[in-house]
Structure 1
Amino acid sequence: MTPELALKHIWTVAGCDPTALRSVTLSGADPSLPSVYRVGSLASATIAATGLAAAEFHRLRTGQGHRQHVTVQMRRALASFRSERYLRIDGGPPPVLRDPVTGFYETRDGRWIQLHTNFAHHLHGVLKVLGCESDPAAVAKAIRKWDGSTLDQTLADAGLCAALIRTPDEWAALDQAKAVAGLPLFEIERIGDAPPELPRRTGLERPLAGVRVLDLSRIIAGPVAGRALAQHGADVLMINGPHLPNIAPLVIDNGRGKRSAVVDLRDAGGRETLRGLSTDADVFLQAYRPGALAARGFGPEELARIRPGIIYVSVCAYGYDGPWAQRRGFDSLVQSASGIAFTERQAAGGDVPKHLPCQALDHATGYLAAFGAMAALARRSTEGGSWHVRVSLAQTGRWLQSFGTIPDGWQAPDVTLDDVRDSLTTVESEFGSVLGVQPAEELNETPAFFALPPARVGAHDARWAR
């Protein structure tokens, strides 16, 4: 699979005008990171799709006859896919993103399981099940008393975050994998009637100027989607719950270009605040487990009634159907469950499972969510309607696996901070001097950039900027 073919697939699934693909130039080839998977093609294609969708939406809004050109270099796309890894504050050390207990552990029956304990309540839940202290050695000893599949199911039933390391064939045999296999890469579905509508005109120098986005997401995939919309000019307002945990470096990296407010959906006043914001929103982006926001009155159908013409974007881990639809998951866990971590280990000849060299499923899913939002905005402008965009890490992972592998790809050299210095820029913020990756897509008339520095959670009022 080449980046060009992958981009064509994204563009075709969305039903976009194929002639627009002539205005894209992609450069670079896999392997560009140490992996047997074609993560560079995934990065280039999903980022190019986002950039091209922004360019096309700008053309639609302005009525320009010509198309601007979109260029994506694979090395810059992969820098974006590792943006959290290259983040630096005041010239300090790399960010710490993982709890020490997070990782791979061998079980009694010779299987491997991955724990994900980066949130304190997930860590405490795992330790309670295992009956041990918060120490990797103690956890390893406790896990050696369990069979892998039993522990995997026990932790899932407790609402905790773990994944048994499976081969691709073992994953394919599961009902969840079969449910995912029946889905396209992403879905854009009309869920209600509304008249055709273009965003409010606040100046058309940027493709998404005047587009209002509510971003109810945390960690990477959803926030990357909101960040991608912000870098093309959208007014993105992050909404966090006061009780929900975050990972500080990710708040900074994925908060660039956004404002941030706190709204408590557990009480009636907070729900009323969000309803009021929704009536003036164009895009409602959320990355809660399927059905979680619907229980608070903010499912896609409810939002289409509150705000006819809304573009509702859902991001989840394992897909929207099947027995794992409610299972908590993160990028690395989907890699472990679906055979990616097994395949990387097998190719490299190691003893321990091995993840991709970046959070590729998170970032690609985020860009696909942003692309879907822009494709739906374009449809709304000509056809009208309310629209629901659905993406998941498992669907993205299945697509990456379909690209095939590069036998010796794991031997490619890693890419250091110094190797990507030309992809980085510095901005002053309340956190200090933030060095971060610039947008990878290059649009020759409406360049992508972050108009705002990152802000702490709750730094702004829960209202639109203008």
Structure 2
Amino acid sequence: MTVEFAALWRALTGDRSPEVRFTGPESALPGRYRVTTAAAAVVAATTSAAAELLRLRGIAPGPVAVDTHAAVAGFASERFLRVGGKTPGETWAPLSGNYRASDGWVRLHCNYPHHAEAACRALAVAPERADRPALERAVARLGALQVQESVIAEGGAAAAMRSGAGWLRHPQGDAVARQPLMELSPIAPAPRRRVPESSGTPLGGVRVLELTHVIAGPVAGRTLAAHGADVLHLGAAHLPAVGPLVIDTGMGKRSAFVDLRTAEGRERLWRLVTDADVLVRSFRPGAFDRLGFTLPRLAQASPGLVVVDLSAYGWAGPWAGRRGFDSLVQLACGIAHEDGADAPRPLPVQALDHATGWFAACAAMLGLWRRATEGGSWHARLALAHTARWLDQLGRQPDESVEFDAEHLLRRTESGFGTLTHVPVPGTLPAAPPHWRWGTPKPGSSAPAWW
């Protein structure tokens, strides 16, 4: 894993990697993809970025270490979450899943009501009759690509299964292959800004504004909170959410509601941006531009701001603005087609989401480091499809039967939902051990303001 981490750090920073000690098995999960190696490498990169920020504060960080069991547990955090000793509910809606079409497989993402309604419209299934068998019959009469495009045209989310070679031949696969894993570029000049004074955590005094949903973006905010940032998640009462994921990814944050459909809500967001250090966004490309929150205006409002944007399929190509989720990207990019599988074979955890979230947290910290040493406002861009390509390039491992259990790692923390049993933050940083100062708050329980 040392070799993979060194290559990753060089790809992210252009520099020689710092020393990191890895412990635990090379593979803690089943499947041909090296998900354990990926989890350990990205946790190592993010923890190392936190160590560099400690050095800017004049604090010797101590030796960074990563245990592979802890890293993998972090990538499966929603699986181990308990609220009051019980599972908090299903993370998948009944209509979400893989469907056999007339010529292959397609996946429908129906976790949000409006996505389920779009799938029903595309398949001519009456909403009152929309159960799994009804959708199965409708999909079976059509080709996988026809289902995919019909659902997308109705405003839904779907992906047909392709092989890896088929993805590379696709214009979007070609566009992804031409893009870096992480893009970090300057937005506008700004004076150098020292890291804020704090009690000794890498991100103490750093204000992070998080406008994200599902897993990848919230994981980024959760990771930044673990390293001491004041993370304010902005949602809205009218937006749908998957309850168990909200609880799992809200550790250490505050949560407020702002309705960006209103002029008052947009003005509130501008006031928050003015005093923010980092802005993390995970909605579709262009969504915030249409509301006036363009990169030049953001940098003007808050000189030195680090903006981190996440998308599903990347920032170039015909699918750049397409809705997508981890499970869909796995089918589209060929990951679920490994070894010519007759049916989709997903990764053992939602590794694209979790890895991209950790990459986003790493990008935010690298942007803050650049701001402190060079000045400027910075923009990072990441995508689930870019992460999928990186995972694919890590190679394969023997597909052995591995039983993964994280029960011995679990911790308990009080939250707005009661007592949470959860996995801890992976990654060892002796001078400032990452941890969450509190459990997940109730959505909208904080004022939309900085402390």
For residues 127-166 of structure 1, the aligned pairs below 5 Å read: 127-132=120-125, 133-166=129-162
For residues 62-81 of structure 1, the aligned pairs below 5 Å read: 63-64=58-59, 66-81=60-75
Task: Give 1:83's aligned amino acid.
Answer: S
Q: Does the CA-based 8 Å contact 2:88-2:244 persist in structure 1? A: no
1-side partners of 2:26 and 2:145: how far apart? 35
* Number of the residue aligned with 2:367: 376
TM-score, normalised by the number of residues in structure 1: 0.94
Q: Does the CA-based 8 Å contact 2:78-2:244 persist in structure 1? A: yes
1:97 to 91, 96, 99: 91
1:413 aligns with 2:387: no
- SS of the equivalent of 1:72 reads strand
Structure 1 residues 251 and 297, CA gap change in structure 2 (3 angstroms)? same
Task: Give 1:11's aligned amino acid.
Answer: W
Shift in Å, 1:31:
2.8
2:438 to 452, 459, 462: 452
* Number of the residue aligned with 2:37: 41
1:395 aligns with 2:386: yes
Shift in Å, 1:17:
4.6
Which segment is superposed worse, 309-318 or 151-160? 151-160
Task: Give 2:7's aligned amino acid.
Answer: H
Shift in Å, 1:317:
0.3
Shift in Å, 1:95:
3.4
Shift in Å, 1:159:
2.1
Q: Does the CA-based 8 Å contact 1:130-1:143 persist in structure 2? A: yes
Structure 1 residues 6 and 299, CA gap change in structure 2 (3 angstroms)? farther
CA RMSD of aligned residues (A): 1.4
* Number of the residue aligned with 2:229: 234
Q: Does the CA-based 8 Å contact 1:37-1:400 persist in structure 2? A: yes
Which segment is superposed worse, 428-437 or 278-287? 428-437
- SS of the equivalent of 1:450 reads coil
* Number of the residue aligned with 2:182: 186
1:262 aligns with 2:257: yes
Q: Cα deviation per residue 1:313-367 (whole Å; 9 max; x = unaligned)? A: 0011000110001110000100000111111663xxxx42111010000000000
2-side partners of 1:141 and 1:462: how far apart? 47
2-side partners of 1:271 and 1:192: how far apart? 23
For residues 169-318 of structure 1, the aligned pairs below 5 Å read: 169-201=165-197, 203-318=198-313
Task: Give 2:425's aligned amino acid.
Answer: P
- SS of the equivalent of 1:341 reads helix
Q: Does the CA-based 8 Å contact 1:229-1:236 persist in structure 2? A: yes
2-side partners of 1:325 and 1:17: how far apart? 30
Structure 1 residues 17 and 171, CA gap change in structure 2 (3 angstroms)? closer
Shift in Å, 1:157:
2.0
- SS of the equivalent of 1:233 reads coil
Structure 1 gap segments, 5+ residues each: none
1:25 to 12, 21, 24: 21
2-side partners of 1:265 and 1:453: how far apart? 27
Shift in Å, 1:76:
0.7
2-side partners of 1:90 and 1:345: how far apart? 42
Q: Cα deviation per residue 1:285-318 (whole Å; 9 max; x = unaligned)? A: 0001111101111122221111110000001100
Shift in Å, 1:175:
0.6
How many residues align structurally? Answer: 448
Q: Does the CA-based 8 Å contact 1:344-1:356 persist in structure 2? A: no
Q: Cα deviation per residue 1:196-250 (whole Å; 9 max; x = unaligned)? A: 002331x232110000000000110000000000000000000012321111111
Q: Does the CA-based 8 Å contact 1:231-1:449 persist in structure 2? A: yes
Q: Does the CA-based 8 Å contact 2:98-2:105 persist in structure 1? A: yes
2-side partners of 1:56 and 1:207: how far apart? 8
* Number of the residue aligned with 2:429: 443
Q: Cα deviation per residue 1:399-449 (whole Å; 9 max; x = unaligned)? A: 10111112x32x32232xxx3123211111221111111001011111000
* Number of the residue aligned with 2:13: 15
* Number of the residue aligned with 1:60: 56
Task: Give 1:319's aligned amino acid.
Answer: G
2-side partners of 1:453 and 1:196: how far apart? 34
Shift in Å, 1:104:
1.0
TM-score, normalised by the number of residues in structure 2: 0.97
- SS of the equivalent of 1:214 reads strand
Q: Does the CA-based 8 Å contact 2:61-2:432 persist in structure 1? A: no
Q: Cα deviation per residue 1:250-270 (whole Å; 9 max; x = unaligned)? A: 111100000000011111111
Q: Cα deviation per residue 1:80-112 (whole Å; 9 max; x = unaligned)? A: 00000110111113631001111111112x311
1:340 to 335, 338, 346: 335
Q: Does the CA-based 8 Å contact 1:69-1:443 persist in structure 2? A: yes
* Number of the residue aligned with 1:125: 118
Q: Does the CA-based 8 Å contact 1:345-1:354 persist in structure 2? A: no
Shift in Å, 1:463:
0.3
2-side partners of 1:323 and 1:241: how far apart? 30
* Number of the residue aligned with 1:429: 415
Task: Give 1:184's aligned amino acid.
Answer: P
Which segment is superposed worse, 203-212 or 71-80? 203-212
- SS of the equivalent of 2:250 reads coil
Which segment is superposed worse, 310-319 or 93-102? 93-102
Task: Give 1:47's aligned amino acid.
Answer: V
Structure 1 residues 251 and 151, CA gap change in structure 2 (3 angstroms)? same
Structure 2 gap segments, 5+ residues each: none
2:324 to 329, 342, 350: 329
